[in-house]
Amino acid sequence: MRNYIIRRLLLLILVLWGVTLVTFILMHVVPGDPAKVLLGKLSGNEVLVTKLQHQLGLDKPLVVQYFEFVKGVLRGDLGNSYKFKAPVMSLILERMPATIKLTFGALIIGLLIGLSSGIISAVRRYSVWDTFSMAFAFFGVSTPVFWLAMLLQLLFAVRLGWFHVSGFEGLRDLVLPSVTLGLIYSASIARMTRSSILEVIRMDYVRTARAKGAPERIVIFRHVFRNALIPVVTLIGMQFGGLLTGAALTETVFQIPGVGKLLINSTLDLDYPMIQGGVIFVAIIFVLINLLVDILYAYLDPTIRYD
């Protein structure tokens, strides 16, 4: 396991290099000039545009710009934001608490709804609950998160007045955003949990446990659920990383000052350092979460070995 973790961490270097290269190329393929965006109404003045491009280093060859950025990353410096004129890392860390609160709120809601509905659907297959649960899962998978967010805003904030429409003044303002993300998140978990349990529940050792007179509750949670968790844990790990980035639309709709909203605004402003730094930060989180999921495999299934 130790050697496997070391190999994965070394692979992280290759992944980050690929992320920086692809992100850098895509940013410079997209039409637009950050200098003109920053100057706004003065963007027609070519002298000011040229001067600002020189100050930002945008007049250097692309190869030089890329290797200067990579050198900064190796030193732990993601550069300074064009718009905010502040270190990218400090801006990300400043916005991170709001995103983490939203992500964990959505994760808890998604796990509670997704796992419980998936288990009940599998145990009571073809029942009314199973039909309702899978219809809800289909609705959740196919529903755009921004549409659901605006629907909840209209119902619970505008009509009922239980919550604020937008803003972030306390944990109360995280309820609607967390429910929005959690409902979307729970749909995939419910479908995966149901299908995984239905596959395991037909195994011989499950029939043996029942033949020995074990209560159905013990059979489901001790023998079936744990062995059905591996694909579910994979999905949870992948979607948890996705929550950190998928929260961007939710943060924008609810005007939550998180990392996702920061990256969307930076994309519109062509803030190259902010975009590159944010993408690298998200890539690191994805790789580390996937590593944690792989480690959990060995705990859930002792027969798994990483050689």
Taking 70 as the threshold, does the pLDDT of residue 145 lie above it?
yes
Across the chain, mean pLDDT equals: 80
Taking 70 as the threshold, does the pLDDT of residue 305 lie above it?
no
Domains in the chain: boundaries: 2-74, 100-257
Model pLDDT for residues 29-58, shown as the tens digit of each residue: 877 778 887 777 777 777 888 888 888 887
Mean pLDDT of 7-12: 75
Mean pLDDT of 121-150: 82
Question: Is the Cβ–Cβ distance between 105 and 254 less than 8 Å?
Answer: no
Reported as type and span, the H/E element at residue 277 is: helix 272-300
- Cα–Cα distance measured from residue 191 to residue 189, given in angstroms and rounded to the nearest whole number: 6
Model pLDDT for residues 187-242, shown as the tens digit of each residue: 888 888 888 888 887 777 777 777 777 777 777 777 677 777 777 877 777 777 66
- Cα–Cα distance measured from residue 112 to residue 255, given in angstroms and rounded to the nearest whole number: 26
Q: Is 87 helix (H, G, I), strand (E, B) or coil?
A: strand
For the ranges 50-59, 80-89, 106-115, 148-157, which has the lowest average pLDDT?
Answer: 50-59
pLDDT at 41: 75
- Cα–Cα distance measured from residue 213 to residue 51, given in angstroms and rounded to the nearest whole number: 81
- Cα–Cα distance measured from residue 255 to residue 244, given in angstroms and rounded to the nearest whole number: 16
Residue owning tokens 């999905």: 235
Beta-carbon-side half-sphere exposure of residue 21 (alpha carbons within 13 Å): 6
Domain spanning 100-257: which CATH class is it, in words?
mainly alpha
Model pLDDT for residues 154-186, shown as the tens digit of each residue: 888 888 888 888 777 777 788 888 888 888 888
Beta-carbon-side half-sphere exposure of residue 227 (alpha carbons within 13 Å): 16
Give the burial class of 162: count Cβ atoms within 10 A of its Cβ; 0-12 exposed, 13-18 middle, 19 or more buried.
Answer: exposed
